[in-house]
Structure 1
Amino acid sequence: MAPAPKWYQDVTAYQWLVVLIASAGWIFDAFEGQLFNIQRNQMLADILHVAPDHPEVRRWGDIFLGVFLVGGSFGGIFFGWLGDRWGRKPTMALTILFYSVFSGLTYFATSLWHVGALRFFVAMGAGGEWAVAAALVAEAVPRHARAHMLGLFHSTSIIGTSIAAWVGLAFGADWRLTFLVGIVPSLLVLWVRARVEEPAAWHAAKAKAAAGLAAQLGSFRDLLLNPRWAKRAIFGLLLAAVGLGTFWAVTVAGQDLAKDFLLRHGVPMAEATQRAKFAYGNIQALGSGLGMLSFGPLAVRLGRRRTFVLYHVAALIVVPLTCFAPTSYGTLLALLPMYGFFTIGIHAGYAVYFPELFPNHLRSTGTGFCFNGGRLLASTMLVFSGWLKALPGMELRTAISLMSLLFLFGLVFICFLPETKGQPLPE
């Protein structure tokens, strides 16, 4: 018997180019989001005329994080809809312009309302780019390579985070120049306009809608009132809310978890802070990247639903294990890659799965609705997690373990969604 062909066989140069361009947009999407996290203390200290460790700096930093979440949710849903109505190619170009130009304009910010407004618009572009790019890749690549290439597309966000960290190091406390660099991704629009072709699936959907043979492109009425699509949209949103909620409550807390462990074992604050940054930014991040890269191949072998179940169950086990099992810093470092692998690796599943749930005329709208509606719902977990961790007598590791119980809900929500392995995209 002849061996089964490799997934990358018969993938054309143009199809690889689409993945490369979509990934570049997603890389810079993550890059723009992380610039604020890296420079917010110095920027807000300068604008407020206080020291970087002043309580007002943290308070406004958290407020603007909330603004970013809301802006990303609104932009993801709006641009997802526009991607169906207007086309994948021009909408992706517009989202890239949004996040890069408004990030660059932060150079001129002199007041808090400037920062808030600009972060909202940056988030709109960032949220929209993912939804449109995921739909574009799903439609452009062959069925047998779809899961691998969508997983690869989503995994590249790690590169954007690393670039942002290096830019932050290069410019140090000069936050204005750091944000000015954020305008560079706008050049990517030229590449999008020159090389990307509108998928045939979108043209077919447009022709059917014009002839009255199908619902209107990007119809929220069809998405939310058609029982077939509405069920997928609602449970897809809830599934995403689990992963995005645990991202803020559990995954990002890996750095604080490492710091708390070191402090409890007598390590001085300054040393504990630096070692915790290393643990989170290098060790846990490595596992996170591998987790995202692995989702696509596992989804091909096991199916989409079983792979989601695997990641959710594993996270339920690994998170409390990482919180309570380590007796040495070395043991903690050994567990953190698995912690990142399952808690953030699950996010690549949304890029693989959501475009497969919806027909051509709703693909970008449905994908954006699931991911960014989930982001908006998950923002409540950010508030609840902060409240839980601040309770008198509450240990950080206990609070993180309790928040990991959210993965149980993911196991419930996936039961109401279909298996799409090996199936053509809905028309």
Structure 2
Amino acid sequence: MPETKRLTSVQWLVCIIAAIGFAFDIYELLMLPLVARNALMELGGISPGTPEFARWFGLLFYVPAVCGGIFGLLGGYLTDRFGRRRVLTWSILLYATSAFMSGFSTSLWMLLFFRTTTFIGVCVEFVAAVAWLAELFDDPVQREKVLGYTQAFSSFGGLLVAFANGVIARHATGFPALQIPEFLQSVWGTIEPIGQHADWRYTMMSGILPAIPLIVIRPFLPESPKWSAKKAAGTLQRPSIAELFSPKLKRTTIVTTLMFACSYGVAFGALQQLPQILPGLDTVQARMQAAGEGKPELQAKIAAGKSRQVITANYTKSQELGGLFGRFALALLVVHFVSRRHLLRFFLIPGLIILPLVFYGYYLGHESVFWTGDLSWIPGFHNVSVSLLGIGIFLAGFCTVAVFSFWGNYLPHVFPVHLRGTGESFAANIGGRMLGTPFAYVTQVIATLGFVPGATPAAKTAIVAAGVAFTLIACNLLLSCLLPEPGANSIDEMESV
């Protein structure tokens, strides 16, 4: 095997922008489960565990997912039509700006609008970045490593939003008060005093960060050489959604779309329910009670809420650390597994066992804490504990999140250049965003039904999450039997399809 060349400075720039994009994709997606509870309570006066809470919780996930899927599919077409770099740049600017504006929402409908535009940008960005990276590197080993390691930054995004939310929850009262400019108040509305220092608003606004390095680096970024060469030669075929269902590609399109839906369904129907599940743990209840003890009713409620938010952020860090290790494990293993099916099953089979057991533990509501300490000298690690369910959610994140990196490595191998963005977009957006993400709503709705076991909304959500995880991972295992096996040089071979 020839020696792998070192990355050029331009390739490093592309990798950096793609990694930032991947990180903030997940940053934005995982932000809503952390802040939805507080946002719904402030903007709509809605209490958790009620049908109205489940309805709006579902709307905030489902409407952006559907719109993101539709526009993401259009973005895949535009990526194939006008180039990877241009579409990626505008998609990042769209979701960064929308995320910032969502922090100034004065109603649930306004929050829903900005979450939708944020989601559209995220859906388009993933497809453009994967196609761009896959076509930038000719060395197959180098290409697989770059795809694997840049996608690992998605989990850094998950960790970052957990850190940011935890820090903001502790210091929000010291931040500048958020107010709508007076000349816009007649149209936009006003932010009530209780919400001017709301931690969920600052957390959402932090999504503008990826736009800053993009604006600086954008002039130095090249277009995909394979796409550019075909465009210049006049041999670039027009992308077509109908072609995805041609005899050569129909099986690939259908199977990858369904499996993407199951992968996202596990993440949103189980893992991302953690903020709604944690209040049912005995240790969390004790800490919330201690935080509000001896204070007036309103102050006690605020203190308890902040305590719960910090605990949620810490458990989310454990989950995302697991996901980070899972993504790096995938990046290390991808060049050693000849069979892509076997590589995928390496994570699916343990997940089929681990996830239902972990969420059943949350359903029981008892946490076994092994160690507690203050590691505040490490940024973001304040008042840390090591517990049984904390380790469990780490392992659950490891098995679940690695699968997302698998798809980023796999999809470029099974679609030709002129369909690469469209094909990836169809699987990721129609399957993952439109069909998979709404499992966040499915779990919440099932958890409100009377026959579901559990004495509290948290316990009901946990047991439903266990069932959803088991069912969807089992479906993915079965569907993996139909997953096409690409060849070693399939990215180059697919150019002639």
1:172-187 matches, cutoff 5 A = 172=172, 173-174=197-198, 178-187=203-212
Match in the other structure for 1:349? 406
Mark the CA change 1:281 to 1:249 in structure 2 (over 3 Å): closer, same or farther. Answer: same
Residue type of the partner of 2:244? L
Q: Secondary structure at the match of 2:237?
A: coil
1:137-176 matches, cutoff 5 A = 137-141=133-137, 142-168=139-165, 169-170=167-168, 172=172, 173-174=197-198
Mark the CA change 1:177 to 1:411 in structure 2 (over 3 Å): closer, same or farther. Answer: closer
1:72 to 68, 73, 90: 68
Mark the CA change 1:320 to 1:120 in structure 2 (over 3 Å): closer, same or farther. Answer: closer
Residue 17 in structure 1 maps to residue 53 in structure 2: no
Match in the other structure for 2:300? none
Mark the CA change 1:242 to 1:57 in structure 2 (over 3 Å): closer, same or farther. Answer: closer
Instruction: Give the superposition deviation at 1:74.
Output: 2.1
Given that residues 258 and 332 in structure 1 are in contact (C-alpha distance below 8 angstroms), is that contact kept between their aligned partners in structure 2? Answer: no
Mark the CA change 1:51 to 1:373 in structure 2 (over 3 Å): closer, same or farther. Answer: closer
1:321 to 340, 357, 367: 357
Residue type of the partner of 2:271? T
1:373 to 418, 430, 446: 430
- Partners in 2 of 1:380 and 1:58 — Cα distance? 12
Residue 339 in structure 1 maps to residue 405 in structure 2: no
Structure 2: unaligned runs, 5 residues or longer: 173-196, 290-306, 370-386, 455-459
Aligned residue pair count: 415
2:247 to 203, 227, 231: 227
Structure 1: unaligned runs, 5 residues or longer: none
Residue 110 in structure 1 maps to residue 106 in structure 2: yes
- Partners in 1 of 2:202 and 2:287 — Cα distance? 30
Match in the other structure for 1:359? 416
- Partners in 2 of 1:118 and 1:301 — Cα distance? 42
Match in the other structure for 2:127? 131
Given that residues 89 and 214 in structure 2 are in contact (C-alpha distance below 8 angstroms), is that contact kept between their aligned partners in structure 1? Answer: yes
Mark the CA change 1:305 to 1:204 in structure 2 (over 3 Å): closer, same or farther. Answer: farther
Match in the other structure for 2:286? 268
Residue 301 in structure 1 maps to residue 366 in structure 2: no
Mark the CA change 1:336 to 1:120 in structure 2 (over 3 Å): closer, same or farther. Answer: closer
| TM-score normalised by L of structure 2 | 0.74
Residue 247 in structure 1 maps to residue 305 in structure 2: no
Given that residues 255 and 276 in structure 1 are in contact (C-alpha distance below 8 angstroms), is that contact kept between their aligned partners in structure 2? Answer: no
Mark the CA change 1:393 to 1:103 in structure 2 (over 3 Å): closer, same or farther. Answer: closer
Given that residues 215 and 222 in structure 1 are in contact (C-alpha distance below 8 angstroms), is that contact kept between their aligned partners in structure 2? Answer: no
Residue type of the partner of 1:423? N
Residue 399 in structure 1 maps to residue 461 in structure 2: no
Mark the CA change 1:81 to 1:163 in structure 2 (over 3 Å): closer, same or farther. Answer: same
- Partners in 1 of 2:49 and 2:277 — Cα distance? 23
Given that residues 159 and 321 in structure 2 are in contact (C-alpha distance below 8 angstroms), is that contact kept between their aligned partners in structure 1? Answer: no
Higher-Rg member (1/2): 2
